[in-house]
């Protein structure tokens, strides 16, 4: 058993400021905001036993830290962490599920409404003085009335989104890695088949090689000209070239995006589109929720060094039995 106060924790890259401030009161923290640890001495690298991260943790970074024991990731998706390499070295990886589920689901519904009813465009219209000058904002062509919604990724967040959608009276279906036995929503074995069956597609799946560019030109075409596409999962899940083309030529009606392929850089041809609502990856970005996420990061670090079972090890770590310090 080791107290967190006796441990050196590396923070490579950005971390939620509140979390970082709390962590500094509990452990010895080495910060490298740009993620580069090349200036750390051999002794300093050897002193690092844990990492608190929000983003990328490469195999090279892990290998540069000979005594690294645990990686605590801030966020649900952890595709930026080389988990396979971590597990091969006996290093567990944790993430922060559940605590952000409601916030992300709320934001998803907000983004869907903004996209279907063009609410952000309507606000810009008012602020520009056009209501008084040009009259009423044009009637929106789309509504949630009578829509059918397909969800890619019916995990914790997907289920929360579905629960919020039910009172709107829309039909709900889903595509998942496997069919769930605890829901009555229709299941489709492929994303293309789901797109055929719905006119609104919401992405709530994790990133990674298994979902990279899963939403391609074919899926968008099958969604149809009245289609609305919403992504709060990962930008990597979408072929952005195909999405921009589909929005430009009317293959789909509109898109609402909170995530992008090359964040924080968003391509200009996407920004220029009037039928796209774009948010700067804010789905879980309330101070309340981020504080809960940060507390879970710190709790996982505390538990590991205290010899207790980790609160939220990722599935790969669980499968490898990396849930408690030997």
β-pair type (254-257, 276-278) = parallel
Say how many C-beta atoms besides its own lie within 10 A of residue 123's C-beta.
12
Question: Is 42 annotated in the active site?
Answer: no
- The backbone region for 281, taken as left when phi is positive above 0, alpha when psi lies in -120 to 50, beta otherwise, is left
79 and 54 Cβ atoms separated by less than 8 Å:
no
Token pair in block for residue 143: 């509504």
Q: Which of 141, 166, 179, 263 is catalytic?
A: 263
Non-local CB neighbours of 239 within 8 Å, separated by 6+ positions: 213, 215, 216, 217
Residue 173 near residue 196 (C-beta atoms within 8 A): no
Q: How far is CA 101 from the centre of its chain?
A: 10
Q: What is the DSSP letter of 295?
A: H
DSSP 6: G
Cβ count within 10 A of residue 268 = 7
Do residues 217 and 239 touch, judged by C-beta distance below 8 A? yes
Q: In the 8-state DSSP scheme, what is residue 7?
A: -
Distance, in Å, from the CA atom of 209 to the CA atom of 214, rounded to the nearest integer, reads 10
Q: Is 31 within 8 Å of 51 (Cβ atoms)?
A: no
Across-strand partners of 171?
148
- Neighbouring residues of 71: CB distance < 8 A, sequence distance ≥ 6: 50, 51, 53, 57, 62, 81, 86, 91, 92, 93, 94
Looking at 28, 32, 45, 281, which residue is catalytic? 281
| Catalytic residue (one of 118, 234, 302, 303) | 234
Residue 123: half-sphere exposure toward Cβ, Cα within 13 Å: 6
Query: Does a cis peptide bond (omega within 30 degrees of 0) precede residue 258?
Result: no
Q: How far is CA 43 from the centre of its chain?
A: 35
Task: Check if 281 is active-site.
Answer: yes
Indicate which residues carry an active-site annotation.
234, 263, 281
């Amino acid at each position: 058993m080791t107290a967190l106060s006796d441990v050196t924790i590396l923070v490579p890259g950005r971390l939620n400021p509140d979390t970082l401030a709390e962590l500094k009161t509990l452990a010895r923290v080495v910060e490298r905001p740009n993620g580069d640890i090349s200036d750390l001495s051999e002794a300093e690298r050897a002193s690092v036993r844990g990492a608190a991260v929000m983003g990328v943790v490469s195999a090279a970074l892990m290998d540069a830290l000979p005594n690294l024991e645990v990686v605590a990731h801030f966020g649900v998706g952890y595709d930026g962490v080389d988990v396979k390499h971590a597990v091969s070295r006996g290093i567990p990886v944790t993430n922060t599920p559940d605590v952000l589920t409601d916030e992300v689901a709320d934001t998803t519904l907000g983004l869907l409404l903004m996209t279907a009813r063009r609410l952000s465009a309507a606000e810009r219209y008012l602020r520009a003085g056009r209501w008084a000058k040009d009259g009423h904002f044009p009637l929106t062509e789309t509504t949630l009335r009578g829509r059918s919604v397909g969800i890619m990724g019916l995990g914790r967040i997907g289920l929360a989104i579905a629960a919020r959608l039910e009172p709107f009276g829309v039909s709900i279906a889903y595509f998942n890695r496997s069919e769930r036995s605890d829901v009555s929503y229709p299941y489709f074995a492929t994303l293309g088949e789901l797109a055929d069956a719905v006119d609104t597609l919401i992405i709530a799946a994790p990133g990674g090689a298994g979902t990279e560019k899963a939403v391609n030109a074919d899926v968008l075409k099958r969604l149809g000209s009245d289609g609305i596409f919403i992504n709060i999962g990962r930008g990597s899940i979408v072929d952005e070239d195909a999405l921009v083309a589909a929005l430009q030529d009317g293959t789909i009606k509109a898109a609402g995006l909170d995530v992008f392929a090359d964040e924080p850089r968003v391509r200009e041809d996407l920004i220029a589109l009037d039928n796209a609502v774009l948010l700067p990856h804010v789905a879980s970005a309330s101070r309340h929720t981020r504080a809960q996420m940060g507390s879970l990061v710190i709790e996982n670090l505390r538990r590991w060094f205290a010899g207790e079972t980790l609160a939220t090890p990722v599935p790969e770590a669980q499968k490898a039995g990396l849930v408690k310090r030997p």
